[in-house]
């Protein structure tokens, strides 16, 4: 999809040239149409959606993000998108319901057929952010005492309702998960072969597991459909690879946004309101303002030291910048390791030991450079202060930055939310205290 084609569609709809807009939409693939509609204003998006053929509208609606789907429903009503709603997977429908006002969500659920309503209710029964909220309760299973032929017959009979048929969970008659078998294995073996010996040990999740690390594991291992069980090991759904990719992408976008001191936008930038963009940024600016106030307080405490050695003030931006960046690097690295299950809060000691060594190495490298520059520009004592401070600040910032995501995980707070403001505040204020304490000791002031 090209930006020029999106502009043409925008201009055609805005100019009420509906025949031209309809031609653009009908000649484009559903994924491209969804991408174009997402970039339009809600008013033009609803007009464009009305121009789609019924079959195309169903596919396009499925490819739209949940925020855009919600805007369409509010603009058009549930009746006009009923076919598209029915075609959604239960987990996608649950995500859409989260975006809607309560009154609209109730109307949406009421209009669904009984089977779809029940499947959606299953997913909505689990906490937000859990695997149960992102799984599909529509799947095809095989019993361990089935033959391959019987299992294939069940796939053919129920496959059109299932979210995937390429991986078939194998269960006991009490629905306890025993294994998984691929459709390929079922097709290639003899019809009378028993399914039990074909089943492989499953990699599975529990319904209330955190969706993000579970989805990352699914993506990393390339699992087409990960079985999801309840606490009694009974099969309740599957997490498909495409849903896992969506979870991972959304988590990555959120982490990147928060690492940049803002909240992620739910709509494209050009379509987002001024209020939405402001709201996404203002909280983090308040946090940074608090950090600045603490820094000012530290400077007031050591005002006398600065008066005796004015040159010390020139290096404050350098030192606070190094401390903040070092801490952010450590926090980002550990947050990523948490997301892919490389570390857990129980590894705090090992993480701290590693980050102390990394901080010392970084500090020594940068400190030598800082010492030489400050010595050349001013005097040996100033160079010693700068060098020692850089070593201390880097070590401290790396240690704190490495531990903060683990602490956040332990208290069940998003590491990206918790780490960034804390590190910014801690490193600025504490780094300056360390700086002036070293200056007073070395310079004797």
The 205-206 sheet, strands edge to edge: 205-206, 225-229, 235-240
Measure the CA–CA gap between 90 and 123, rounded to whole angstroms: 7
DSSP 8-state assignment for residue 235: E
Report mean pLDDT in 10-residue bins for the chain, 445 residues.
78 85 87 87 85 85 84 78 77 78 73 77 82 89 92 90 89 92 92 90 91 89 92 91 88 70 66 71 70 70 70 82 85 80 86 93 93 89 92 92 86 67 75 86 80
- Domains located in the chain, CATH noted: 3-129 (1.25.60.10), 142-243 (3.10.580.10), 287-443 (1.10.357.20)
What pLDDT, on the 0 to 100 scale, is given for residue 269?
64
**CA end-to-end span of the chain, whole Å?**
66
What pLDDT, on the 0 to 100 scale, is given for residue 419?
58
Angle at which helix 415-443 crosses helix 241-259, to 10 degrees, equals: 30
What pLDDT, on the 0 to 100 scale, is given for residue 256?
67
Q: What angle do CA 308, 311, 312 make, to 5 degrees?
A: 80
Measure the CA–CA gap between 164 and 135, rounded to whole angstroms: 12
- Which of these, 40, 34, 31, lies nearest to 10 by C-alpha position? 40
Measure the CA–CA gap between 325 and 350, rounded to whole angstroms: 22
What pLDDT, on the 0 to 100 scale, is given for residue 362?
93
- Specify the pTM: 0.63
Give me the phi and psi of 101, to 5 degrees please.
-60, 155
Helix or strand or coil: residue 395?
A: helix
What pLDDT, on the 0 to 100 scale, is given for residue 57?
85
DSSP 8-state assignment for residue 162: S
Task: List, as one string, the DSSP characters of 99-154.
Answer: HS-HHHHHHHHHHS-HHHHHHHHHHHTS-TTBHHHHSBS----EETT-BHHHHHHH
Measure the CA–CA gap between 72 and 46, rounded to whole angstroms: 6
């Amino acid at each position: 999809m090209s930006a020029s084609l999106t502009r043409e569609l925008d201009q055609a709809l805005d100019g009420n040239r509906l025949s031209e807009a309809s031609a653009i939409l009908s000649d484009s693939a559903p994924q491209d149409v969804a991408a174009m509609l997402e970039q339009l204003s809600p008013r033009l998006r609803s007009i464009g959606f009305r121009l789609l053929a019924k079959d195309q509208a169903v596919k396009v609606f499925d490819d739209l993000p949940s925020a855009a789907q919600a805007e369409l429903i509010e603009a058009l009503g549930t009746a006009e998108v009923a076919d598209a709603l029915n075609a959604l997977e239960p987990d996608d429908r649950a995500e859409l319901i989260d975006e809607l006002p309560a009154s609209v969500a109730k109307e949406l659920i009421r209009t669904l057929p009984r089977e779809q309503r029940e499947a959606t209710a299953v997913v909505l029964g689990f906490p937000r952010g859990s695997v149960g909220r992102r799984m599909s309760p529509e799947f095809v299973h095989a019993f361990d005492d089935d033959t391959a032929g019987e299992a294939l017959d069940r796939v053919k009979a129920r496959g059109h309702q299932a979210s995937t048929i390429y991986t078939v969970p194998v269960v006991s008659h009490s629905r306890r998960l025993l294994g998984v078998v691929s459709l390929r294995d079922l097709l290639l073996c003899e019809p009378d072969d028993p399914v039990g010996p074909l089943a492989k040990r499953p990699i599975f999740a529990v319904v209330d597991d955190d969706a993000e690390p579970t989805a990352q594991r699914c993506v990393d291992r390339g699992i087409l459909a990960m079985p999801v069980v309840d606490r009694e090991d009974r099969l309740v759904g599957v997490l498909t690879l495409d849903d896992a990719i969506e979870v991972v992408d959304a988590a990555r976008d959120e982490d990147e946004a928060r690492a940049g001191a803002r909240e992620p936008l739910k709509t494209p930038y050009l379509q987002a309101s001024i209020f939405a963009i402001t709201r996404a940024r203002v909280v983090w600016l308040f946090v940074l303002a608090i950090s600045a106030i603490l820094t000012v307080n530290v400077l007031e405490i050591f005002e006398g030291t600065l008066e005796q050695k004015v040159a010390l003030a020139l290096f404050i931006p350098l030192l606070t910048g190094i401390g903040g960046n070092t801490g952010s690097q450590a926090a980002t690295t550990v947050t990523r390791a948490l997301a892919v299950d490389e570390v857990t809060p129980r590894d705090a000691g090992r993480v701290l030991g590693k980050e102390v060594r990394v901080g010392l190495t970084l500090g020594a490298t940068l400190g030598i450079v800082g010492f030489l520059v400050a010595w050349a520009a001013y005097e040996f004592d100033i160079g010693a202060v700068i060098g020692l401070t850089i070593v201390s600040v880097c070590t401290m910032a790396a240690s704190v930055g490495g531990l903060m995501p683990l602490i956040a995980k332990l208290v069940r707070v998003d590491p990206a939310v918790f780490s960034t403001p804390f590190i910014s505040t801690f490193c600025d204020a504490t780094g300056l205290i360390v700086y002036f304490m070293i200056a007073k000791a070395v310079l004797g002031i």
